Amino acid sequence: MAQPSLSQHIKSLEHELGGALLERIPKGVRLTAAGKEFLPEARAALKHADRAKRNARSVFGLEGGELEVATVTSVAFGLLPPAFNLWHTNHPSIRIALREFTHRQALDDAVRAGVGDIAVGPRPPHWNGPLVALGWEEFVVVLPRSDPLTKRKRAISLEELADRDWVLYGPDHGLTHLIETACARAGFVPRGAAQTGQVAAAAHLAACSLGVTIVPSNVLPPGLDADVRSLKSPLVRQIVAFTRRNWSTLAEAFLEALVAMPWEQRPHSATVVD
């Protein structure tokens, strides 16, 4: 920087701070008391700025940073772990921050408000930003071994479960609305006998003969001691990836991992739920 320009910058800074930072002496300049206090922080600010540039460049180059993924709890448990595993293999230096929501509407609202670099969940209605369809998930019925329907080796209908006790989810849980809507179409209101906020726990509670329940097929715990049945008219919902305006570098890379997963196709004669 030329001397006149440097002097002008220093005068401008001193004017902003309200006093002299440098004292002019015959053989040059020396720091004033204020200048001595200002200098270490100024050097630190320059180092932070350099570090910020390096960090940003590492994200653009997929060499570091943090990817924030927003989703609903059932998708976080049942569908995302394989994608996270692939992501960690390909980008071990990039952290994952998972933001979970119990209701699809809460997820949609949070993403609109700025949460998440990428969201994965049920298709949001009236979404204006980028959206990529990934696949479908099917909901299945979990019956205790003692239920008479377990003797029939076939798909069942919801109408056959009208007189059963049910394991349900909390009032603010998205699957509560899904089950209540599906049962209403079948002509009944499910009779709640137990309630949980955890999707995997619902299957275990059903296995303990507390009632029947409906869960996504991908969250069924290994070794579950229960009878699991598809419905005659399968209940399915579409899973998509979406964001607010544009895919960031990290979000676009994670989208590639999601698309590479073996997603289920929509079954024939399926009933689409949200």
pLDDT, residue 140, reads 94
Asked whether the CA dihedral 78, 82, 85, 87 is positive or negative, the reply is negative
Give the Å distances, CA to CA, from 121 to 20, 74, 207, 242, 256.
58, 9, 27, 8, 16
Residue 143 has pLDDT above 90, yes or no: yes
**Residue bearing tokens 């976080």:** 76
Distance between CA atoms of residues 135 and 158, nearest Å: 24
| Spatial separation of the C-alpha atoms in residues 273 and 7, rounded to whole Å | 69
User: Which tokens sit at 46?
Assistant: 């320059």
Between CA 46 and CA 79 the distance in angstroms is 43
Alpha helix segments (H runs only) across the chain: 3-17, 33-60, 73-78, 80-90, 104-112, 174-185, 199-207, 249-259
Mean pLDDT along residues 148-164: 91
The stretch 150-176 carries a mean pLDDT of 91
Count helices and strands (H / E) in the chain: 8, 12
What's the pLDDT at 135?
A: 96
Instruction: Give the DSSP H or E segment for 216.
Output: strand 213-216
CATH annotation of 66-136+238-272: 3.40.190.10
Write down the domain spans for the chain: 66-136+238-272, 138-235
Give yes or no for a contact between 169 and 202, defined as CB atoms under 8 angstroms apart. yes
> What tokens does 194 get?
């137990």
Helix (H) or strand (E) holding 193: strand 191-196
Please say if the pLDDT value at position 158 is more than 80: yes
CATH T-level fold of 138-235 = D-Maltodextrin-Binding Protein; domain 2 (3.40.190)
Share of the chain above pLDDT 90, in %: 61
Residue (of 208, 225, 223, 214) closest to 190 by Cα position: 214
Residue with tokens 């004669």: 269
Asked whether residue 180 carries a pLDDT value surpassing 70, the answer given is yes
Give this prediction's pTM.
0.77
**Residues 173/179/184/188 CA torsion (nearest 10 deg):** -110
**Which residue do the tokens 């002496």 mark?**
25
Return the percentage of the chain with pLDDT > 70, whole number.
Answer: 95
DSSP H or E segment with residue 115: none
pLDDT at 55 over 70: no
User: Per residue in 89-142, pLDDT tens?
Assistant: 988 888 899 999 999 999 999 999 999 999 999 999 989 999 999 999 999 999
Q: How far apart are CA 237 and CA 75, in angstroms?
A: 11
Check for a shared fold between 66-136+238-272 and 138-235: yes
Chain centre to alpha carbon of residue 224:
26
pLDDT greater than 90 at residue 152: no
Q: Do residues 254 and 224 make contact, with C-beta atoms less than 8 angstroms apart?
A: no
* pLDDT above 80 (res 64): no
pLDDT digits (tens, 9 = 90+) for 221-262: 889 999 999 999 999 999 999 999 889 888 999 999 999 999
Residue-level pLDDT at 202: 95
